[in-house]
Structure 1
Amino acid sequence: MNDEIAKLSPQGLWENFYKLTQIPRPSKKEGKAIDFIEEFGKSLGFTTIRDEVGNVIIRKPATPGYEDRMGVILQSHIDMVPQKNSDKVHNFETDPIETYIEDGWVTANGTTLGADNGIGVAAAMAVLQATDLEHGPVEALITMDEEAGMTGANGLKSGLLEGDILLNMDSEDEGELYVGCAGGSDANIKFNYTESEVPADSVAFRMAITGLKGGHSGLDINIGRGNANILMFRFIKYAVANLDARLASIDGGSLRNAIPREAFAVITVPAENADDFVESLEEFEDMYKAEFGNVEPNLSFTAEKSDLPATLIDELTQDDLINGVIAAPNGVMRMSTDMEGLVETSTNLAIVKSANGVIDVKCLMRSSVNTAIEELESKMESVFRLAGAEVSFGGQYPGWKPNMDSPILKTMQEVYNNKWGKVPEIKAIHAGLECGILGSAYPHWDMISFGPTIRYPHSPDEKVNIETVSLFWDYLVETLKNVPVKK
């Protein structure tokens, strides 16, 4: 049952998270959730501000005796990534998330859960509600549209917030403190095609690559999971070269920051090559399963005969598209030389879609080194311009440079060690936290990111560990109690 999670401990946090699961909040369509947060702040009697882009700021005064503490901003984003399995009937703009508990984790039925970053929002709400906590001045900053463009963070104006310390609650491993993150840039590639006739005596097939795990294009890029677009075009190139195949349409991936789990294409072949086509596709499926092994145990590559398409993508554009996708950089480009095990630079060939004479290809490039993003943009531009496409870049956001002398870092290390007898790991993350952008508007902020353990964000396998949510909450409460005095 959905409401089972509202009974978990800490109850205030889980009750708020349950309420969030009942409000549709996909990126760029999270208006109802923004309204909910604004009304929540007002209902508590606290100063509540909704800025011009839709971010909500709620101020809670210090508890008695803590008025001299540095002000803390509790920051999370309200939107969630809308991903579902192809066989799941769900409208992210109208339907609630169906949650359930399994083996100590909270997960969702065939869709993303929204723990990224709903757990952080729920924690901020619980702090605002609580009457038994000890803390200095607190502000909740709930940003919008983080997942699809960082619109809220980019639109936040300086001077609205009064605090000195930002606690970003959007990382996904309990016991780790994040002090830096990657910046990013979107590559927007466009092919214009003309519609050509279907050759006589052709047979059409609808191909589907499904069952891949997908995942977060930053956090999961180094796991070696399959990219549905890459796998689809590997076969399409073979079929065009060896079986006289022609491409009618392509629909691969759905979000720039999610590794594509599924890709679909309609293709035609001469009737005399139909049996060879089916046999070749089965061989490719076996080859893919051998390549990915246990990483992608549910990989499926199928083809079903379909009605002939009305038209095909012209042959020149088809070939240019194939060559561009096959040659495009994808995956991990470079590992960090400063932090062991950290991806420095990567790119995700996220979306390839054709419709109405246009084929859109979208990639999200990430790096903790700004010049490395520039180099990757240059490579992407060269590959696709050679293939005859239009190329532009947008959505750039800065990385967050670690400050190992951070006072709040020292405080949170001491708090964790005093409470659990060990020091938390200090890390940077190969994902686009909002800290880099927010810090450019408020350069005096001392920033840390932390959170409970979440697995497989941006995919229908997303889940959050119940025990670590309790640990995360206790850590947050103790940190607020020990925030340094203003100097």
Structure 2
Amino acid sequence: MNAHLEQLAPRPLWRHFRTLCNTPRPSGHEAALVAHLEAWADGLGLPHDRDAFGNLRIRKPASPGHEKAPGVILQGHLDMVAQANADHPHDFTRDPIATHVVDGWLHARNTTLGADNGMGVAAALAILEDDTLVHGPLEALFTLEEESSMGGALNLAEDWLEGEMLLNLDSEDRGQVYIGCAGGADVVVEAQLPTSAVGEDETLVRLALTGLTGGHSGLDIDKGRGNANRLLVRALRRLEDVDARLVDYQGGTLRNALPREAFATLALPAEEVEAARTRLAALEQELRDELAGVDDDLRLTLEPGVAADGTAALSREASRLLVNALHVAPCGVERMSTAVPGVVETSNNLGVVSLADGRFHLCALVRSLRDSARADIADRFRALFELIGARTRVENAYPGWTPSPESPLLARFCALHRERLGVDPAIKVIHAGLECGILGAKYPALEMISFGPLIRGAHSPDERVEIDSVAEFWDMLRALVEDLADPKA
């Protein structure tokens, strides 16, 4: 499948990306890909090993005469975000990603593409097999479960890597180089809320908010896009005085993707259904007006629900308190940075919300350039949801990456960028969780930069990569590896 990819340039990189598209690799299901890469490395005679968590390292000795050059680590993560359009059945643990080209961009068909971070992984593999390249000692580090928890980086073995410079290949902007990133943490809220049977005088309805663009919960958090959980809660607030009670709720699928859809089943008096429909139609128009030009396909619909024996709904008081808590929970951009103009300092994404049989679960992803601000958002969640008897915990916290603008590695990259492309790269700090912060905490002597091709729509079925930018990225990566092979350059 995806044979057309091997006709794109540079062919070695696209050939490896084809393998990544054809090998299912959602977070937590990277084993088949790891086994394939180990067999591939064996075929080339390249030594490889794994740490206790399963992160994979493949090494390549230096070119003759360059053994004393600083060791270079090429780093990316093997997993991808698993998102598909609601009307497109796709099993990310079994089905390959189907790709096609439109106007110079590579897209997937109704799913995420996996260019994040498949482009970086494919480039590292192509570097390892390039026998025409002059290089110092090389290590390729492929981490696991980056998209779900940063688990691979957080559990990376210490005193394992040997290189002195790390090239993170997980950035998504052409002509830019990243030297810092936000830290983050998952805030998980859970509760068992009181329920009672749906009464004979109540009827079930199904409320759906669909059609949002979605996107990356860090890179796109400041784009003004709708969050399906936040917007569906507004709809539930609009129905409070018609005595609607929550039966179930499901919004979002990943804490690091802006939720595009959310659904709720409600029990309400039969005579209030038309009033509810009228109110929701008015709200749909309000939301369309608010999000015009950003989320023009938003839809808010109310359909008959399906009743089952013993169906229960939250008590009216529990339903009211839960909806109110969700309505005021932190969501979106909290503060812009004063130290790095134009960059979000602190944000939160209400990524996954669910309710079934009275069991409530929420997973939000807080990001910040400041660990203290990240901790404060988590504490606000705890204080808020304690009011409804919920338990809050913080998981998978990871540090940010402190910029080092005087880095010699950065200076060499910038000089090569000027030489080959005629312009200076833009030096950036990103509001996203690159693994560099975690790796730098484990290996504080590492010099690091991050760069990559132009990717848009990451973490959504709109994900796409600009084909020309891939060639530019590849050219810069090869040039930088060769430049670093000369320790006196």
Instruction: Give the shorter-chain TM-score range.
Output: over 0.9
Q: Which residue of 2 aligns with 1:172?
A: 172
Distance 1:381 1:485 in 2: 53
Q: Which residue of 1 aligns with 2:481?
A: 480
Distance 1:219 1:409 in 2: 22
State yes or no: 1:111 paired with 2:111.
yes
Distance 1:164 1:42 in 2: 25
Residues 257-308 of structure 1, C-alpha deviations (whole Å, 9 max, x = no match): 1111000111122111111111111111111100100100111111111223
- Aligned residue type for 1:258: A
* Alpha-carbon distance, 1:388 to partner: 2.3
Residues 309-363 of structure 1, C-alpha deviations (whole Å, 9 max, x = no match): 5111222321221111001011001111111210010001111101243110111
Q: Which residue of 2 aligns with 1:98?
A: 98
- Is the 8 Å Cα contact of residues 135 and 485 (structure 2) preserved in structure 1? no
Q: Which residue of 1 aligns with 2:277?
A: 278
The DSSP-based 3-state class of the residue aligned with 2:434 is coil
Q: Which residue of 2 aligns with 1:458?
A: 459
- Aligned residue type for 2:52: E
- Aligned residue type for 1:257: N
Distance 1:370 1:157 in 2: 23
State yes or no: 1:127 paired with 2:127.
yes
* Alpha-carbon distance, 1:486 to partner: 4.5
Please say which of residues 253-262 and 380-389 is displaced more in the overlay: 380-389
* Alpha-carbon distance, 1:484 to partner: 6.3
Q: Which residue of 1 aligns with 2:376?
A: 375
- Is the 8 Å Cα contact of residues 192 and 317 (structure 1) preserved in structure 2? no
The DSSP-based 3-state class of the residue aligned with 2:470 is helix
* Alpha-carbon distance, 1:210 to partner: 0.8
- Is the 8 Å Cα contact of residues 134 and 485 (structure 2) preserved in structure 1? no
Gaps of 5+ in 2: none
Gaps of 5+ in 1: none
Q: Which residue of 2 aligns with 1:49?
A: 49
Q: Which residue of 2 aligns with 1:307?
A: 306
Q: Which residue of 2 aligns with 1:248?
A: 247
- Is the 8 Å Cα contact of residues 323 and 387 (structure 1) preserved in structure 2? no
The DSSP-based 3-state class of the residue aligned with 1:294 is coil
The DSSP-based 3-state class of the residue aligned with 2:64 is coil
State yes or no: 1:346 paired with 2:356.
no
RMSD across aligned C-alpha pairs, in angstroms? Answer: 1.2
Distance 1:55 1:171 in 2: 20
- Aligned residue type for 1:41: A
The DSSP-based 3-state class of the residue aligned with 1:147 is helix
* Alpha-carbon distance, 1:145 to partner: 0.5
- Is the 8 Å Cα contact of residues 70 and 136 (structure 1) preserved in structure 2? yes
- Is the 8 Å Cα contact of residues 312 and 357 (structure 2) preserved in structure 1? no
The DSSP-based 3-state class of the residue aligned with 2:264 is strand
- Aligned residue type for 2:51: D
- Aligned residue type for 1:398: P
- Is the 8 Å Cα contact of residues 250 and 262 (structure 2) preserved in structure 1? yes
The DSSP-based 3-state class of the residue aligned with 2:293 is helix
* Alpha-carbon distance, 1:83 to partner: 0.5
- Is the 8 Å Cα contact of residues 111 and 461 (structure 2) preserved in structure 1? yes
Distance 2:370 2:287 in 1: 33
* Alpha-carbon distance, 1:381 to partner: 1.3
- Aligned residue type for 2:251: G
Distance 1:11 1:427 in 2: 29
- Is the 8 Å Cα contact of residues 238 and 280 (structure 2) preserved in structure 1? no
Residues 235-268 of structure 1, C-alpha deviations (whole Å, 9 max, x = no match): 1112022x12111110011101111100011112
* Alpha-carbon distance, 1:42 to partner: 1.8
Q: Which residue of 2 aligns with 1:211?
A: 211
Q: Which residue of 2 aligns with 1:359?
A: 360
- Is the 8 Å Cα contact of residues 196 and 312 (structure 1) preserved in structure 2? yes
Distance 2:64 2:102 in 1: 41
The DSSP-based 3-state class of the residue aligned with 1:42 is helix
Distance 1:58 1:484 in 2: 18
- Is the 8 Å Cα contact of residues 73 and 139 (structure 2) preserved in structure 1? yes
Distance 1:299 1:237 in 2: 18
- Aligned residue type for 1:423: D
Residues 124-149 of structure 1, C-alpha deviations (whole Å, 9 max, x = no match): 00001111112111110000000111
- Is the 8 Å Cα contact of residues 233 and 325 (structure 1) preserved in structure 2? yes
Q: Which residue of 1 aligns with 2:8?
A: 8
- Is the 8 Å Cα contact of residues 191 and 321 (structure 1) preserved in structure 2? no
Distance 2:30 2:314 in 1: 36
Give the number of equivalent residue pairs. 486
The DSSP-based 3-state class of the residue aligned with 2:445 is coil
Distance 2:7 2:20 in 1: 15
User: Within 5 A, what are the aligned runs for 1:57-456?
Assistant: 57-241=57-241, 243-308=242-307, 310-456=311-457
* Alpha-carbon distance, 1:181 to partner: 0.4
Please say which of residues 327-336 and 268-277 is displaced more in the overlay: 268-277
Distance 1:146 1:398 in 2: 14
- Aligned residue type for 1:267: L
Distance 2:400 2:111 in 1: 29
The DSSP-based 3-state class of the residue aligned with 1:467 is helix
* Alpha-carbon distance, 1:74 to partner: 0.2
- Is the 8 Å Cα contact of residues 38 and 50 (structure 1) preserved in structure 2? no
- Is the 8 Å Cα contact of residues 204 and 305 (structure 1) preserved in structure 2? yes
- Is the 8 Å Cα contact of residues 248 and 357 (structure 2) preserved in structure 1? no
- Is the 8 Å Cα contact of residues 105 and 465 (structure 2) preserved in structure 1? yes
- Aligned residue type for 2:290: E
Residues 70-123 of structure 1, C-alpha deviations (whole Å, 9 max, x = no match): 110000000000001000010001000011111101110000000000010000
The DSSP-based 3-state class of the residue aligned with 1:307 is coil
Distance 2:44 2:401 in 1: 33
Distance 2:41 2:208 in 1: 46
Distance 1:187 1:454 in 2: 28
Distance 2:394 2:216 in 1: 21
Q: Which residue of 2 aligns with 1:21?
A: 21
* Alpha-carbon distance, 1:485 to partner: 4.4
TM-score (norm 1): 0.98
The DSSP-based 3-state class of the residue aligned with 2:420 is helix
Please say which of residues 18-27 and 192-201 is displaced more in the overlay: 192-201
Distance 2:66 2:105 in 1: 36
- Aligned residue type for 2:73: I
Distance 1:70 1:439 in 2: 17
- Aligned residue type for 1:343: V
